[in-house]
Chain A
Amino acid sequence: MNTQNPASTDTGPDENPQVLTTRDGIPLKVSLARALRREKLRALALIAPLLLFVLITFAAPIADMLFRSVENGIVSETLPKTVEVLATWDPESGEIPDQAAFTALYEDLKVAVEEKTHTRLGSRLNYEASGMSSLFRKTGRRIGRMEPAEATVERFIDIDKDWGTVETWAVLKRYSPTITPGYFLNAADMQLTAEGVEMKPENERIYLYLFWRTLFLSLTITFSCLLLGYPVAFLLAALPARSANLLMILVLLPFWTSLLVRTSAWKVLLQQQGVINDFLVWTGLVSDAGRLVMINNQTGTIIAMTHILLPFMILPLYSVMKTISPSYVRAAKSLGATDWTAFWRGYFPQTVPGIGAGAILVFILAIGYYITPELVGGTDGIFISNRIAYHISTSLNWGLAAALGVILLLAVMLLFYVYDKIVGIDNVKLG
């Protein structure tokens, strides 16, 4: 930057017939372009370490999750020969595949049993059709003692009559491609059948309801935050700086306090033997037998999360209200507006950007919450995130967890795009 002297740019090199050069004889334009390029490279060199770091530690895992939500190599890896034979078989024919398929299955399973991969395939296919897990385990046990000549259609049907049904083979064929929409269909309570995509039976649908509940609870929490945050932000913006700063501590302290501390506080307060119930019994509002159930249900989730996310609503609202000049309201009043009209027509419309920013921020944070619903939500106050965690650590259905995660991620990205349009990433303020 300090090697060239760009002082002569204002003479307008385009209109000048003779080319301007720097002192060492290089045309000025070339020289400036070089300086600009060097500056860009230097900026990139400063950014590169972090960009690389975030790409490896954060972006790659997200990409891996995207991949896992559709990845399905397990059938063609475990049963390569069977998949090949099944390629020519048509489930529409209504008949089970011929002997060739059974011979291929025998050879594949023989290898799979030695490598102990057949049970994993069984549990994978069990997500799509129940009974597959036990079918593969049962067949796997018998296949070890079976001679190649014994691998007949009848022998397999004898081991488990499921081998004699078209549906079993149809499932194998349907899930033999290495990419599957199966997890996403599952996440939307749908399934792939011979007739194509259709909804699952009524009693097996859980995820659409769970998505709906996550949405509903997040909206309720956002709305309660707005309801409680607006008056507080209004008061803080109206008070003189000294007292506003003092009251701001009451907002910032919860903001800075660990999430788990606040969740445990609510657990202590809301329990049936907890502080609030004790107080209500003491005042006589509630009888000792009729203690309120406020925890391990939706009420618990809504109360605790409203408290936790409230500062995220107050801070953006406050920073918008702070910039609104009081003269608008004064002008409205001097023109004869009542207090209410002055507020509603003069002040409120100017706070809408703050409401938008705060509401989207709270909603984005709420929709992906895990810890608080897990601890105070019981069974009917949990979110889609809790189901994702369950599939990762308990049911081990990682594909479904990834698909649910991708859907949630898309929702958050869409909301964030809107947030960026309203507020801008650069305007995110902390504390």
Chain B
Amino acid sequence: MSALPAYASTGQRIWHYSFRTICGLIFFFLIFPILVILPLSFNAENFFTFTKEMLAFDPAGYSFKHYEDFFTNPDWQQAMRNSFAIAPVATLLATSFGTLAAIGLSQQHVPYRSAIMAILISPMIVPLIISAAGMYFFYSRIGLQGTYVGVVLAHAALGTPFVIITVTATLVGFDRSLVRAAASLGANPVTTFFKVQMPLIIPGVVSGALFAFITSFDEVVVVLFLGSAGQKTLPWQMFTGLREQISPTILAVASLMVAISVVLLTVLELLRRRSERLRGLSPS
């Protein structure tokens, strides 16, 4: 498949190139919607489509005004501050609890392992609308609905499965005799954890943390129900913007968020390579 042999028949040639064209079109379908918003966010008009000036590459057709609006509009600024106040705290909670639990789960003898795993993974499986509904009912009973703490706790719960999955995956390749070696050399469990185990599993922990961060940072359903106006996050503001007064500032925000995803994706890829190197595999 990968390379066409010299003896390929005409039919095989036609199939080979048409298959590649089909795949190219599917890749185009995947990436085009994300790429198209980047130039549109520089539109000088309040339109959601390319103007004549833009198509003629006339500098007058482009401007930074939507970005300016984002950085000066108090609504958007408040939303950005809220997003950055909620996501890191939720990430910290999810990562610290999740890493400890993943280490516990990867011990040799864990009673009720599959039942515990099912409970811990469940926030990832249950549809968000159901989690949001349940949390809304329950948190309004205990007075956490509409509070910062409520949103942070909910987001931390949603992020933990990702930490568990990434850290347990890293621990599969962890050589347990290293812990015994450290212990036989006189290190206590805490020293062993920080000096031996942690440096080796840190790529898994960091990528779990990134997943938890992006889960909280992108999350809109739960915050929509649990939050009050004081917890309005960026996705929430985008959601109401898209539903009610659709303004091109959304495209500027969307472009900035694509930039954030690119950064995260790069960091994750680097971590994956480092982790494979540490395990003695050659990175593919």
Contact = CB atoms under 8 A, between A and B. Distances in A.
Interface of A: 1-2, 36, 39-40, 42-47, 49-51, 53-55, 57-65, 68, 228, 231-232, 234-235, 238-241, 245, 247, 249-254, 256-269, 271, 273-275, 278, 307, 310-311, 339, 364, 367-371, 374-375, 385, 388-389, 392-393, 398, 401-402, 405, 408-409, 412-413, 416, 425-426, 428-431
B101 A256 contact: no
A278 B101 contact: no
A65 B129 contact: no
B127 interface: yes
Given A47-B104, A61-B138, A426-B168, A265 B261 contact: no
B64 interface: no
A51 B47 CA distance: 50
Interface string B66-109: 00000000000000000000000000010001101101110111
Contacts of A258: 217-218, 235, 254, 257, 261
A65 B27 contact: no
B61 interface: no
A374 B111 CA distance: 43
Contacts of B135: 57-58, 61
8 contacts: A47-B110, A51-B120, A57-B157, A58-B131, A61-B131, A253-B258, A257-B258, A430-B166
Contacts of B119: 51, 54-55, 59
A257 B183 contact: no
B225 A39 contact: no
Interface in B38-81: 40, 47-50
B137 interface: yes
A342 to B, nearest CB: 11
Contacts of A412: 125-127, 130
Interface of B is mostly: helix
Contact of B130 (A51, A62, A264, A398): A62
Nearest to B40: A268
Contact of B37 (A54, A259, A268, A409): A268
Interface in B168-209: 168-169, 180, 183-184, 207
Nearest to B108: A39
A418 to B, nearest CB: 12
B153 A249 contact: no
B216 to A, nearest CB: 12
B22 interface: yes
A59 B121 CA distance: 11
Given A1-B183, A278-B50, A368 B2 contact: no
Contacts of B36: 265, 268-269, 275
Contact of A405 (B105, B129, B166, B272): B129
B116 A2 contact: no
B239 interface: yes
A145 to B, nearest CB: 35
Contacts of B218: 258-260
A398 to B, nearest CB: 7
Contacts of B27: 232, 247, 250
Interface string B241-281: 01100100011001001100110110010001000000000
B111 A368 contact: no
Contact of B33 (A68, A235, A269, A389): A269
A228 B127 contact: no
Contact of B129 (A1, A36, A51, A389): A389
A379 to B, nearest CB: 14
B122 A59 contact: yes
B184 to A, nearest CB: 7
Contacts of B118: 425
A55 B221 CA distance: 20
Given A57-B154, A274-B49, A405 B134 contact: yes
A42 B33 CA distance: 50
Contacts of B158: 58
Contacts of B97: 49-50, 53
A234 B15 CA distance: 14
Contact of A393 (B130, B141, B225): B225
A250 B117 CA distance: 32
Contact of B127 (A368, A375, A425): A368
Contacts of B138: 60-61, 64-65
A311 B265 CA distance: 14
A259 B258 CA distance: 11
A364 B130 CA distance: 13
